[in-house]
Amino acid sequence: MHRLRDLDPEAQACLRDLLLDLQRDARSRAAASWDAHKPPMAAYWAAVGVYAGHIARILRRAAKSDRHRQSDLFEKAA
């Protein structure tokens, strides 16, 4: 988690977008697997979607905290 937060903001944004795409795809695959009566695969894809979403949220929080830190620096400099 700390190494992801140490990435530059552009890399974090790109990775966050990729993870959210992965989450959407995994949720779609989970639904398709459930409809095809394949519960183990549905559970697998559901878990992939959850993990991808959690990691994307970590990156979103890091971006928000960076904005707060930058605004604090600007206020202290003024």
Residue with tokens 């190494």: 3
CB atoms closer than 10 angstroms to residue 78: 5
In a domain, 3, yes or no: no
In a domain, 35, yes or no: yes
In a domain, 1, yes or no: no
Which element (helix H / strand E) includes 37? none
How do residues 4-25 score in pLDDT, each as one tens digit?
A: 989 999 999 999 999 999 999 9
| Tally of domains in the chain | 1
In a domain, 6, yes or no: no
With 0.95 as the threshold, say if the pTM is over it.
no
Say which amino acid occupies 16.
R
Give the Cα separation of 64 and 78 in Å (integer): 21
How do residues 41-51 score in pLDDT, each as one tens digit?
A: 999 999 999 99
Alpha helices, H only, 1-78: 2-5, 9-35, 39-77
How do residues 43-73 score in pLDDT, each as one tens digit?
A: 999 999 999 999 999 998 766 666 555 555 5
Structural domain boundaries enclosing 67: 12-77
